[in-house]
């Protein structure tokens, strides 16, 4: 009897192995990754999504209308850029926050650096381009998403600068300001709903400006850069990470064109222009060019790796292998059937996945960069003043 009792209470190696995935999941839940908590928040946001749409009555019609815009021409998309961008972020914002975090941009990771550490370093490097900003300085984030970079940069400046974040999408404004309040940054960072082609701020309001992978949504680069210039004080700096096609892009190569189109469709872009065109646009807008640099050319830069397939089920890269793609799409379809997420959610996920695969291929081939850095300064005197 004693022997049987001892055998019944023993724990085998197989028991430890079978319990390991659950133990790892619970351990991760105690970190900032919080996969269970984030997933529950994600499902809650999706369930309420149709109450917060601004471009359509429901998600299914929204994704169909969005896809229809991409079936048209570049001119059509530029003419309808506000509808294109607003529809995209109506559909995509919850997916971004769940799968990527609150900073909607790429970065590369150094050895032993976590994903979030690489993200913050990328933002801090851009912020350092703005120079020695005094306490009380005003900065504008042109195309801020839900404000992840703005909050990190505010902390980088020891909460001594005031940051206004501009976004076209009302849901992003509400969500971003909610998180600012949660983090005690409501007095430092404020998100404002507006079209960054027509900023509501007066001339010479800001001491610095930055944009992180956002002005690629503009229908006219010269126009958006001019608007940034108008709101900056003389001598102030604008630093920008742009999405561009590189010199390796061949407009006669069918594979290159497919990659470019996948990125545009999966990321809400009217068109993607070259690095040279962006720099010329910044100069034409009136900025003095301080310097430019494609950070994707940095040796060892691996910005696209999070979008490449992996068989590790504990990483978001799992969704990019064939099994992960199948499971993600069909799980969302089941959730649609039982009304836990709106109809059209699975189609939205497929659209976003197409963009992820396109970006990965663009990075692997070197024809696309999401981190072309341009730094410009507003002249102390305009050409008119110099003439006088």
Q: What is the pLDDT of residues 71-107, one digit of tens each?
A: 999 999 999 988 899 888 988 888 888 888 899 999 9
CA 322 to CA 340: how far, in whole Å? 25
Q: What is the pLDDT of residues 136-191, one digit of tens each?
A: 999 999 999 999 999 999 999 999 999 999 999 999 999 999 999 999 999 999 99
Task: Assess contact for 69 and 85: CB atoms under 8 A.
Answer: no
Which range among 105-119, 153-167, 306-320, 367-381 shows the weakest confidence by mean pLDDT?
306-320
Pairing of strands 368-377, 206-212: unpaired
Q: Which two tokens stand for residue 130?
A: 């703005």
Task: Assess contact for 313 and 254: CB atoms under 8 A.
Answer: no
Which pTM was predicted?
0.87
pLDDT at 47: 57
Task: Assess contact for 146 and 65: CB atoms under 8 A.
Answer: no
Is the predicted pLDDT of residue 236 greater than 90, yes or no? yes
Which range among 59-63, 100-104, 355-359 shows the weakest confidence by mean pLDDT?
59-63
How far from 169 is each of 21, 85, 178, CA to CA, in Å? 39, 8, 15
CA 91 to CA 185: how far, in whole Å? 27
Q: What is the pLDDT of residues 188-209, one digit of tens each?
A: 999 999 999 999 999 999 999 9
């Amino acid at each position: 009897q004693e022997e049987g009792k001892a055998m019944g209470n023993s724990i085998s190696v197989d028991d430890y192995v079978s319990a390991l995935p659950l133990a790892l999941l619970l351990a991760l839940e105690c970190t900032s990754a919080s996969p269970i908590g984030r997933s529950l928040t994600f499902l809650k946001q999706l369930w309420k999504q149709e109450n917060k749409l601004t471009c359509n009555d429901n998600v299914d019609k929204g994704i169909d209308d969005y896809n229809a815009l991409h079936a048209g021409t570049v001119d059509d998309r530029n003419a309808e850029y506000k509808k294109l961008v607003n529809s995209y972020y109506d559909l995509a914002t919850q997916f971004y926050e769940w799968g990527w975090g609150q900073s909607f941009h790429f970065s590369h990771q150094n050895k032993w650096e976590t994903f979030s550490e690489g993200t913050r370093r990328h933002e801090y490097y851009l912020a350092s381009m703005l120079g020695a900003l005094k306490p009380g300085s005003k900065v504008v984030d042109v195309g801020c998403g839900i404000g992840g970079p703005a909050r990190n940069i505010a902390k980088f400046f020891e909460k001594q600068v005031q940051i206004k974040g501009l976004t076209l999408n009302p849901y992003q404004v509400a969500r971003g300001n909610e998180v600012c309040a949660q983090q005690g940054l409501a007095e430092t960072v404020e998100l404002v709903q507006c079209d960054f082609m027509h900023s509501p701020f007066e001339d010479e309001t800001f001491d610095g400006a930055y944009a992180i992978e956002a002005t690629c949504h503009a229908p006219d680069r010269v126009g958006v850069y001019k608007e940034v210039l108008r709101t900056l004080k003389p001598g102030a700096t604008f630093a920008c990470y742009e999405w561009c096609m590189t010199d390796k892009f061949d407009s006669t190569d069918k594979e290159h064109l497919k990659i470019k189109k996948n990125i545009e469709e999966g990321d809400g872009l009217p068109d993607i222009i070259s690095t040279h065109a962006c720099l010329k646009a910044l100069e034409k807008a009136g900025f003095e060019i301080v310097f430019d640099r494609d950070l994707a050319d940095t040796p060892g830069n691996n910005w696209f790796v999070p979008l490449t397939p992996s068989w590790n089920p504990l990483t978001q890269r799992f969704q990019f292998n064939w099994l992960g793609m199948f499971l993600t799409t069909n799980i969302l379809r089941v959730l649609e059937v039982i009304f836990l997420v709106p109809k059209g959610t699975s189609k939205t996920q497929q659209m976003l996945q197409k963009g992820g695969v396109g970006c990965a291929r663009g990075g692997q081939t070197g024809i696309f960069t999401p981190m072309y850095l341009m730094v410009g300064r507003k002249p102390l005197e305009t050409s008119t003043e110099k003439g006088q």
